[in-house]
Structure 1
């Protein structure tokens, strides 16, 4: 199906948010075999973004980038340039955020984190509800570990 989409003028890529690296690898391989390496494959799962890019993915549509845009940009640029050591170092700092920003449904932890960083006022509109207090220290610790606080 993706190979057929890659033939359609105006469709230039796909977001793969399955977190299935085998699927992502096969998708990239099959597009290359069909001569469609220019059809962009973007990751949609932060925790698998680095390996997907190292396998030939074109980037990531990231949740974590809302909290740590510079670090996500550094990791992505390094991965796409083939600088694995620099990409891994940035990703190691990002991993706690990748995990902890999903302790509740997105975007609740992200909005809480942005408020904790002083970037937004923290007010939510329904159907969103505040982040459960039991998760505050968990997310705060991830923010500290990534250098966001």
Structure 2
């Protein structure tokens, strides 16, 4: 007697790798808090920056930008800028240097993170002071002066 392989009917099973990749992309988007910026430069290379708030308390919060090079060519230098909400000010920032002119913050990379290889990222984190409306998300984010 010949036996036939048992075939299951119904749904097709997704690969575990595809599920993990999809779930990771959704998790990044959710953690990002909806602020995603893509910028391009004259070399047609692109940079992405995703903001997320990492902690908060009554008089301040911590936030970070994940600056990523999704392109196939390295990026030689970059500048990130954004506007803090009225009443907020940065107390400290790491993995970069910054200047502030009122609420406008300009971030320059450290020497070790100026060049971003393809697929690589750098996290720029900061502690901001301010309460109430001053804890809103930063706005007008630009990378290399492009939104």
What TM-score do you get using the length of structure 2 for normalisation? 0.26
Greater relative contact order: 1 or 2 (C-alpha under 8 angstroms, separation 6 or more)? Answer: 2
Q: Which of the two has greater strand per residue?
A: 2
Max radius of gyration: which structure?
2
Richer in helix (by share): 1
